[in-house]
Structure 1
């Protein structure tokens, strides 16, 4: 149970990092900082959608378009961003095709790196704590 909670927290942190990095470096990709609750909502919506869409899209793609499996992460990131932007209470806005394309790439890359680099830090500490 603790491992599940740690992984969920890592996924939320990675989603937040991806959205914040895109906001900082990409014009047209905006987090509405005056509404902190909207940003929290955007992060949670994005993270939950990403965790649901990726396995579902993988299953569909594997069944019907095997050659597209490599793009599942990008596709699920794009769809999760699209849905998060469409929810009025979420504190995220994306304007223009360049912001959509580059924003998807940035968020995907940062979340992928964070979900790859963060778990060993927390899980290794947990294993060391249990051993002592």
Structure 2
């Protein structure tokens, strides 16, 4: 098999990371829906809710990190929770998808979604890309991860 060009390798890495991030967002929202009764995710609006959540999360996290690093370094550990809360809030603004009712759900859901997405982004590559990693280590493939 011919070797991929550096641009192709970077694009494949980007697409794999994007797919893993979207999958982790979907898993996080589903777990919140199953475990927190006040969180509802309609099947018809789930795709929009997951995509909006993932996009907002990926945009807000670096922004909040930069602000906290500059002005309040003690808050750096909580950036993931805050960006998850903001992403859930924005995703809930789109009708027919994600709904979160009650102040308790607004506390529990971001913590739960943050925890699940963090675990998913850590474990999903290990689960789904194990064969690719093994092949790359053995020198039988050129597909980068």
TM-score by length of 2: 0.83
Per the alignment, in what secondary structure is the counterpart of residue 13 of structure 1?
A: helix
Per the alignment, in what secondary structure is the counterpart of residue 115 of structure 2?
A: helix
Q: Distance in 2 between matches of 1:125 and 1:44?
A: 28
Of residues 74, 78, 85 in structure 1, which corresponds to 2:85?
A: 78
Per the alignment, in what secondary structure is the counterpart of residue 88 of structure 1?
A: coil
Name the structure 1 match of 2:27: 17
8 Å Cα contact 1:3/1:123 also seen in 2: no
8 Å Cα contact 1:26/1:99 also seen in 2: yes
Name the structure 2 match of 1:27: 37
Of residues 112, 118, 121 in structure 2, which corresponds to 1:115?
A: 121
Offset from partner CA, 1:52-83 (integer Å, 9 cap, x none): 11111000010011111100000000000000
Is there any run of 5+ residues in structure 1 with no aligned partner, and where? none
Alpha-carbon RMSD across the aligned residues, in angstroms, is: 1.3
What's the CA shift for 1:27? Answer: 1.1
Query: Which of 80-89 and 99-108 deviates more?
Result: 80-89
Name the structure 1 match of 2:103: 97
Offset from partner CA, 1:12-68 (integer Å, 9 cap, x none): 0000000000000101011013x2xx1000000001111111111000010011111
8 Å Cα contact 1:19/1:43 also seen in 2: yes
Residue-pair matches, total = 128
What's the CA shift for 1:120? Answer: 2.8
Query: Which of 58-67 and 121-130 deviates more?
Result: 121-130
Q: 1:4 to 1:122 in 2, by over 3 A?
A: farther
Q: Choose 1 or 2 for highest CA Rg.
A: 2
Is there any run of 5+ residues in structure 2 with no aligned partner, and where? 1-10, 141-145
Q: Distance in 1 between matches of 2:37 and 2:89?
A: 17
What's the CA shift for 1:123? Answer: 4.1
What's the CA shift for 1:4? Answer: 1.1
Which of the pair is proportionally richer in helix? 1
TM-score by length of 1: 0.91
